Structure 1
Amino acid sequence: MTNQLTLSGKVALVTGASRGIGRAIARGYAAAGAAVGCAARDEAGLASLVAEIEAAGGRAVALPTDVTDEKAVNRMVTGAVDAFGGLDILVANAGVNLSRADVADSDTATWEETIAVNLFGVYYCIKAAIPHLKARGAGKIITVGSGLGHNGIPGLSAYACSKAALWMLTQVVAQELAGEAI
């Protein structure tokens, strides 16, 4: 089967790209012809991903980033834009599910970190990407949610709440940017 989708000339930025879903997304965009900014905290994972994409004939750049640091996120977006001349697609995939504990037994620091990565990290990415997407005249912002954002289960309160808030952020941003072809 051949790939019918072509993204030649497009630039995608994928967070959480060093492993799992993010890595698969980055590979897929590269296979479809997009240049890919690959972002994550795991520098070794990013290096191996970029090498894999380049070995297959694609273009990619490693952008080591902690999405909970807004300044680092701004540098990440600028790094992708500088490397490839713009930005067309943001995939805000970075996310964590750090523990399973009922609220009464939960660790506040773990709760805060989960919200920081899964909500604020996505917010920072979207905010930094918007001007570059607008400059291209159109674009895509893709956020990675979870069914737990709609139906929480005991022991996963931080994760479920972060994904519920992400769902609402995604809806609001879609409405705000609807007239911009984003």
Structure 2
Amino acid sequence: MDLRLKGKKAVVTGASRGIGRAIAELLAEEGADVAICARNEAQVQAAVAELKRHGGAAWGRSVDIADGAALKGFVQQAGETLGGIDVLVSNASALTVASRDEDWQALLDIDVMGAKRSFEAAKPFLESAAQANGDAAFVIISSVSAAEASGASAYGAMKAALIHLAKGLARENAAKKIRANVVSPGTVFFEGGVWGNAKAQNPQFFEAMLKRNPTGRMATPEEVAAAAVFLASPRSGFTTGVNLLVDGAISARVNF
């Protein structure tokens, strides 16, 4: 299926590894020009070099997502460098599951405010793209933890806030042909990630989590990326305000 992304301009935050990297790679494979950011400059530049191998333009730089001015500056520079923004993906996360005050603050600053601020900075570009082409897209990566609460969790609460934010943005911007959607992964395995580290450091816990999923396995970053890129594409032109679970049925709730 042609996702109609060839020549589109896409920005992905938190894209040097894991899910964000897989999203950037798939966008580039589909013919989009891609700008990325993450905290580690060396990892960003290594990712940019790989993205360029797909034949399109690629650019990136190190950004502290919690620094609102720096994040907005990155998005502005990305739009100017690429010549516009058709797709914005907010993937960056503090990735802490503790519940100290500093964990709440980190998740607010990076996950929630990072999504809000990146959209604000990209909005003029998205509006121009939507006016010219009839479609622009904002995709937020949340988590199935938004709907699963075994205890008080800063991570789950802030991931739930992202779903609410996306729905509001979807309704506010529908007439402008800017769509806003969420992808909520379940457990995702890659080396160096949360579950890759769990497998190495606590194999019994890792095996217990595997057994919780009816599929008997965890997702790959590429499987989550496929859902995100489809929602970002003009093929999903009438889909906005949704929260798409990519969890292998680990959650029992009915999603409607």
Q: Same fold (TM over 0.5)?
A: yes
Task: String of CA shifts for 1:32-71, please: whole Å, max 9, x gaps.
Answer: 0100011111211111111111133232101321222121
Q: Does the CA contact (< 8 Å) of 2:10 and 2:87 recur in 1?
A: yes
- Indicate the SS of the match to 2:79: helix
Residue ranges of structure 1 left out of the alignment (5+ in a row): 101-105
Which of the two has higher C-alpha Rg?
2
Rounded to whole Å, the distance in 1 between the matches of 2:144 and 2:54 is: 34
Conserved? CA contact 1:91–1:143, under 8 Å: yes
1:85 is aligned with what amino acid?
G
Which range moves more in the overlay, 49-58 or 78-87? Answer: 49-58
Equivalent position amino acid for 1:83 in 2:
T
Using the TM superposition, give the Cα deviation of residue 31 of structure 1 relative to its aligned residue in structure 2, in angstroms: 0.5
Q: Quote the residue 1:103 is aligned against.
A: none
Structure 1 segment 19-58 matched on structure 2, within 5 A? 19-58=17-56
Stretch moving more, 172-181 or 128-137: 128-137
Contact between 2:6 and 2:30, CA under 8 Å: does it hold in 1?
yes
- Distance, in Å, in 1 between the alignment partners of 2:67 and 2:149 is 27
Q: Please identify runs of 4+ aligned residues in structure 1 that moved more than 6 A.
A: none
Q: Aligned residues, how many?
A: 174
CA contact (8 A) 1:67 1:124 kept: no
Candidates 125, 130, 135, aligned match of 2:128: 135
Deviation for aligned residue 1:114: 1.5
1:98 alignment partner, SS class:
coil
Correspondence for 1:151: 148
CA RMSD in angstroms comes to 1.5
> Paired residue for 2:231?
none
Give, in whole Å, the separation in 1 of the partners of 2:150 and 2:176: 37
Matches within 5 A, 1:1-182: 4-100=2-98, 106-136=99-129, 137=131, 138-154=135-151, 157-182=153-178
2:11 is paired with a residue of what secondary structure?
strand
Letter in 2 for 1:130: K
In structure 2, what is the Cα distance between the partners aligned to 1:72 and 1:43? 14
Q: Deviations over 1:3-32 (max 9, x none)?
A: 633422210000010110000000000010
What TM-score do the two structures reach when normalised by structure 2?
A: 0.65
- Matched to 1:148, the amino acid is S
CA distance in 2, matches of 1:165, 1:56: 35
Secondary structure in structure 1 of the residue aligned to 2:61: strand
